[in-house]
Every structure is written in C-alpha cells, then in structure tokens.
Amino acid sequence: MTSTKSVALKELRAVINEQQELLRLTLWVMSQGPAVVQGQELRCVLAQEQVRAATATSLGAGQSINTILKGSTEVGIPVRDLYPIARSVVEGFVNAAFFVTQPVEVADRAMKHKDYAAWKHLNRSIGSGEFALTLSSGADPKAMAARLFPEFAGKGQDSWSTLDVPSKINRTGKVARRAGAALLAAYALVYAVSSEIIHGSVYGMSYFMSAHQRPPSDTESFRAGTEGQIVDILCAVSHAASGFLSAFASVHDFQPMIDTERSLFRRICKIIQGTDLDDDLSGNEREKN
C-alpha cells in the first residue's frame, strides 16, 4: 500500500522538475538572450553584474536541487546528508533573489568580493593558541589587502553584505512580496536544523535520529520518519526556488512567467496542506473556504 508521504514525494518531485525547467529558462534569458514564451518576448533587464551574480548563485542552487532529487529516493540514514545541501539551496536562491531585486551596487560588491575571498583564502590565520598557523602570499598581507582590495580592508568590511539571511529576505520581499513569503518559508523549514547538522551538534543528530517522533522505536518506524523529513526538505527547496523565480518574474513584469510560477506554487501548497490558495488583488494569499 502506498503511503500518503510517498504520494506527496512523487508529486513534489514532479513540481520541482517543472520549476527546474523554469529556472533553465531564466538562466538562458540572463546569460544567452531573449526568449519567446507564450507568444511574448522575455528580455533580461538586469545590469551585467546582477546577471553574473544571480546566474552563479541560482545555477548552483539548481544543481544542488538535482542532487537532492536523486538522494530523495532513499530513506533512512542518507537523508541526514540532504539537510546541508538543502540549506545551500535556500541560501543560494535567497542571494539570487536579493541580487535581482536590489540596486546593482549590491551585485557589484559581491562580484568584487569573490576576488578578495580568493586572495584571502591564501592569506589568513587559522586556529587558536598552540594550534594555529598563518598562510601568506606576501611579507605584509594587511598592506597588500589595503592596496588590492580597499573596499574590504577596513574593520567589519570583509564581507560582500552585512545583512543576515532574514534581512535579505525582508529586502527582497519589499520589492517582490510573494518572493519574500516563499523564501521565508524555505528558511523556516530547514535553515536552523541544517545548521545544527552541519556543525555536528548533539541536537542535530538527535533531531534526525528522532525522526519517528514517538514509539515504536524500531528501524521501520525510523525509516518511515525520515520519509517525512524528505517531504520537509523538498518542500523547503521548492519554496526557495519559487522565491527566486517569483522575484525574477516580478522584476521583469512578465505575466506568463508570473502565472506559471504561481500555478506551480499553488500545487506545492495543495500537496503539503491539502488546501487551495487564492490570490487577492493586493498579492496576499488566502485559503479558500
């Protein structure tokens, strides 16, 4: 007998694969040129640095979604390793949406930062106390940094953005409300527990191993519980993808893509909640009675 979770997984995979096709269209338009969709031309309006930053981050997130889709066919212990990948997907799409909705200066700084980060990888201090070492490509790394990367040389200036993930989502949501809502849901679903698992905490392992939540505490119950965790993970990455795609479509004011993305999002909500969503004129969602 097929379980409810198995049905949900099958349906989520189908929707995510359709989102991936929409992502491929977005990447094509950003990197290759305009495309005709439902008889209308979609032409990228982003600045070059926005294109470069958004393409890199959304492409990486999309590739990781493919990894998650392949891994989602197994239950049990392997599910734990999907959480860090899911967090990478969420952050990738959060950043991509941030780049397309914010002023070009944000993406420009991120692109400059990649060069600084590559240099810093070979010019840094590692460890603490007796167990420490220093890597350096020159006699005076601090002076070299000030000369080569003045934007990142000052105290507290060594990151491409001072905003945390929720703040980026908030900024994105002010431009594209639906995108912000989808990204927030993705963040809430997996970010915290993924961090615990990534850092090897006791709680992270406990959360995963307690997947069955209640007795009986046997292997089959655990495996069935991890199937539910896969549903959570797919739900999170599908919301993250929805957030970026919605942001891109909104910035370009391209109705065919807005409608297609929204249709996919409604299907996700139907799979997870079992209820339909409707949209009022202000862009807020409300549950049908």
Tens of pLDDT, residue by residue over 145-191, are: 888 899 898 888 889 999 999 999 999 999 999 999 999 999 999 99
Residue 117 to residues 92, 111, 131, 175, 203, Cα–Cα distance (Å): 17, 10, 23, 29, 32
Q: How far apart are CA 287 and CA 289, in angstroms?
A: 6
What pLDDT is stored for residue 211 in this prediction? 62
Tally of helices (H runs) and strands (E runs) in the chain: 10, 6
CB under 8 A, 24+ apart: contacts of 24-30: 24/62, 25/257, 26/58, 26/244, 26/245, 26/248, 27/55, 27/58, 27/59, 27/62, 30/54, 30/55
What pLDDT is stored for residue 188 in this prediction? 97
Mean pLDDT of the region 80-85: 96
Contact status, residue 165 vs residue 94, Cβ threshold 8 Å: yes
Question: Is the pTM higher than 0.75?
Answer: yes
Q: How far apart are CA 243 and CA 180, in angstroms?
A: 6
Q: How far apart are CA 150 and CA 152, in angstroms?
A: 5
For 273, phi and psi rounded to 5 degrees? Answer: -100, -20
Contact status, residue 22 vs residue 264, Cβ threshold 8 Å: yes
Contact status, residue 269 vs residue 275, Cβ threshold 8 Å: yes
Q: How far apart are CA 273 and CA 289, in angstroms?
A: 13
Q: What percent of the chain has pLDDT over 70?
A: 93
Q: Which helix (H) or strand (E) holds 135?
A: strand 131-135
